[in-house]
Structure 1
Amino acid sequence: MRLRTRNHIELSCEEACPLVAMLRPRSGAQQWVIAERYDVQPWVPATEYIDCYGNLCQRFTLPQGKSAITVEHEVEVADQLDVDRRADRIPPGMLPDEVLLYLLQSRYCPSDKMAERAEKIVEGCPPGYAQAERIASWIRDNIDYKYGVSEESTCALDTLEDGAGVCRDFAHVGVALCRSLQMPARVVVGYLHRLEPMDMHAWYEVFLGGRWFAFDATQDKPRGGRVVVAHGRDAADVAFLSNYGPLDLTKMDVSVSLA
């Protein structure tokens, strides 16, 4: 499946504002970037680096006043998510070095406080994909998708208590529950074809059987058509804009279509 993504962001700042953007997907085993356009108006000098999670980060300083960032990509992606119910949980002592950090609790995923709940949810499931799949189904059945309930400081425990949230909250709960069962998990942000309402989207991946599998508790079945922009321990690692000064986001328009 070949997708075209477009993200137009309008910003306003009272004074020059340093900014790190995370808006460029990388080519890899699960997707291939065919073409892209990245425009900043007014144009400013920029640099790019790869962070410790492998994400492409663009660094620049916006001038005082109004600015706009427009990012367009054409990406080849899978039209279906991989499913392997035989994928086993790998014991921590056998995990690759770079995966171990995804077992640790993090700012929005306090997995060290969620083991008892996770064990009740997966009762009767063999370790591995079946447990991860049960967790995603439980989240979908027990947490309402609702705007205005959560805020930037909301963690997985808050979402469980509120019983509602948006895609990033669903992902945090899934990650925290999986980690509490010693299954490495990470938050993913990007685009999903035919998402309603259209926006940037968040889901999560679990490391099983030697590879990462995607889970999205906001959807009623495994759906492909995803463009991954970034992944990390939780939302703190994958913010699409990180500003180091006062900055107002006045408009964001996202679209995803078949190429």
Structure 2
Amino acid sequence: MWLHASCKLDFEIPVATPFILMLRPRSGSQQWVAREQYMLNPSTEAVEFTDLFGNLCQRLVAPAGFFSIQTAFDIEVADSSDVAPGAPFVPVEQLPDPTLPFLLPSRYCESDRFSQMAASLVEGINPGYNQCAKIVEYIQNSLAYTPGEGQEIISATEVNQKSQAVCRDMAHLGIACCRALSIPARMVVGYLEPLRPMDLHAWFEAYVGGRWYTFDPTQQTLAGGRVAIAYGRDAADVAVYTQFGDPVEILNMEVHVEQISAPTD
């Protein structure tokens, strides 16, 4: 399907402030960007680089006063997410090198603390995709999805002590449990067309059966219409904006996604 997606961020900047932004999707096997707009108001010099995980990042110094960032793009994405019950576990010694960082504990996904719990959750389940699906089922049965409720980033250990969570929290818990079973897992931040209320969204991917598969504990049926903006070990790696120095006030954030016809020119 073709989607038009946009994001607008408005800030009040007290003094000139360095930012790193992560708002541009990249084309790849699962998505293709046909048109793109990126506007800074007031116009500001920016430099783009690619981080360790292949994400497109923009580096700039926002001037004091009102500052706005607007991005929009037309993109072709899959209208459904692949599922693969029975896809096998890949032994660590056979994993591709780029997947190895996603086996390790990270700031918000303390997988070393979930070894016993994860093993008990998947007891009797065939290693691989089916274990990941069982972990998602546990998260859905244990946590109520409450979009817009969680402003503070919390770790998987903290999430597991709660009764409700946002998408980011649920992804952290899923990632930690998968890694505890030696299954590489990574966080994804982007857009989900069926999401209501509309906002930026987080889910996770696990590497089984020789490829990455999507898992989303917030959705009872795994939906397509996903646009990936950033991949990382956890939320610390995939912030759509990071500012340095004294805190700045975000005045407004608007996210829109809609289906469109294929571009003609």
Fold shared, TM-score > 0.5 on shorter chain:
yes
Match of 1:255 in 2: 256
Q: 1:47 to 1:148 in 2, by over 3 A?
A: closer
Q: How does 1:100-139 map to 2 (within 5 A)?
A: 100-139=100-139
Question: C-alpha distance in 2, partners of 1:153/1:45?
Answer: 30
Q: How does 1:105-254 map to 2 (within 5 A)?
A: 105-146=105-146, 150-245=150-245, 246-254=247-255
Output one character per residue of 1:219-257: Cα deviation in whole Å (capped at 9) or x when no partner.
001110000000100000000001012311110000000
In the alignment, is the contact (CA less than 8 A) between 2:140 and 2:217 conserved in 1?
A: yes
Question: C-alpha distance in 2, partners of 1:97/1:10?
Answer: 39
Shift of 1:148: 7.4
Shift of 1:145: 1.6
Question: C-alpha distance in 2, partners of 1:8/1:147?
Answer: 19
Shift of 1:147: 5.5
Report the secondary structure of 1:40's partner residue.
Answer: strand
Shift of 1:146: 2.7
Match of 1:30 in 2: 30
Output one character per residue of 1:161-210: Cα deviation in whole Å (capped at 9) or x when no partner.
01221000000000000000000000000000020110000000000111
In the alignment, is the contact (CA less than 8 A) between 1:150 and 1:159 conserved in 2?
A: no
Match of 2:20 in 1: 20
Q: 1:53 to 1:121 in 2, by over 3 A?
A: same
Residue 161 of structure 1 aligns to which amino acid in structure 2?
Answer: Q
Unaligned 5+ runs, structure 2: 261-265
Question: C-alpha distance in 2, partners of 1:251/1:231?
Answer: 24
For the aligned residue pairs, the C-alpha RMSD in angstroms reads: 1.1
In the alignment, is the contact (CA less than 8 A) between 1:38 and 1:70 conserved in 2?
A: yes
Give me the identity figure in percent.
Answer: 45
Shift of 1:86: 2.6
Shift of 1:38: 0.3
Residue 21 of structure 1 aligns to which amino acid in structure 2?
Answer: L
Deviating more after overlay: 119-128 vs 221-230: 119-128
Output one character per residue of 1:12-44: Cα deviation in whole Å (capped at 9) or x when no partner.
111000100000000000000011000000000
Residue 63 of structure 1 aligns to which amino acid in structure 2?
Answer: P
Residue 117 of structure 1 aligns to which amino acid in structure 2?
Answer: M
Report the secondary structure of 2:254's partner residue.
Answer: strand
Unaligned 5+ runs, structure 1: none
Report the secondary structure of 1:161's partner residue.
Answer: coil
Shift of 1:104: 0.1
Report the secondary structure of 2:131's partner residue.
Answer: helix
Report the secondary structure of 2:161's partner residue.
Answer: helix
Give the number of equivalent residue pairs: 259
Residue 77 of structure 2 aligns to which amino acid in structure 1?
Answer: V
Report the secondary structure of 1:171's partner residue.
Answer: helix
Report the secondary structure of 1:53's partner residue.
Answer: coil
Report the secondary structure of 2:86's partner residue.
Answer: coil
Deviating beyond 4 angstroms after TM superposition, the runs of 4 or more aligned structure 1 residues are 147-151
